[in-house]
Structure 1
């Protein structure tokens, strides 16, 4: 049986890089980190032990209904089932976006020098994302959830985005999706109320995505060097729209019915839930600072981030 012990994150494992790393070569440092600290979810996650329904699927405070009148009426068993369905929905949305991410990164490095650290890191990231997608799929299945998918319109919009997005628009959108999920999962992986195998999944994702976020930030900065105001305005808008649909697709409306709740009432109370909106805003403060420093928080972009309760 695989272990479900949660290992410490990369912040607890300082890396001792080569001379190239010390000179600031981000891709080289990330390759060295991946060589030292990487996971195989097939063996790291306890897939064999049956689901213990006495555990949550995510920290209750992150539930879309936490703090509402409906939440207070639910039994503990109902709350736990709801967080399991919500966690599975977030995982399913993660798979959807990771597939978009993989295609954008692969297209970006398609004709570049495969001996360069940038290309080799990009291929390493794609390999990690493939493992994450399989891990999320198995995790959602073990949580007893169906395969949640974004709305058809959003799925088709994603199809267009992955085909046409390039440069800073692609990497900044990748960063937004990864940062939002990262903050949630850092809470979940430390929470003993959450199922052990889910905590392990979250820990693996947090550790490996920390490298992906560093690469996305570095690439966003590099691609924006010398960018004029028109280009920044266009890309800021594209990233904001993509971010809005990613974030608002994380929790599928069907989670409420699948958890045995009144879907119409749950949707209404979730939509008005100020606690959840506050959680989203506070989790994105660092991300918004980065976007502002990159001059990607234009007025039209801000409108979409506010609608998604990211700012």
Structure 2
């Protein structure tokens, strides 16, 4: 866990190791520090900061480019401080042109994130599984990626290039863009929202060996729910499950609130919930008590 007096554990180097030796690395989505702690406590080796979940949790709105870079980076910093495993973060479009990307990369790196993904959508962007997206030119995006690579201080800070072109111009263009993005220096490639298993297989076949590949297992999204064994067989290096934790939390809160509305108290729902003591231990009360004894 991200202890209050914990030391540095080189999560960026660890992420590179995981991508090199484990296929695929599974990174469940987290939208705040608490959900990130739960991901780590469940035994996963990486956390993915979802932009969709960040937007929903911070302002209760859809992922259509409403958050500023400062809001996204602030959330990333809180998530990083809560866990010891590497954090992979959504960085949207880089929040502007190539010069904005320079500042975005520096800020996420200073926040302690291990990797970010930058997408080639027109700003303001939309969730990759929504309709109505538009993309910038391949040439503009390659310039932004070159700027991102030049801006990082730590060579272990990974730049993931995401293309949303499949939904706009088709899979041929998306694959062509991905190759160009690798040539521009991207460490990992992310072709967003292929809509068929044949499309997924083609992405894997044509881009395997170019760079490690991301598979976005977006819960309820446009990409088919491919089994884990098949994802591994195709050679994807990183699998994101971006919003399952958010959907589960939403369902849990709805159920509790319905009991409270109907019965007047939440008493009948409490047996299915963590106890007060269990929850306070989960968020680190034991560590705080140890520090109180140490420094009293």
**TM-score, normalising length: structure 2:** 0.25
Higher strand share: 2
Structure number with greater CO (CA < 8 Å, separation at least 6) is: 1
Higher helix share: 1
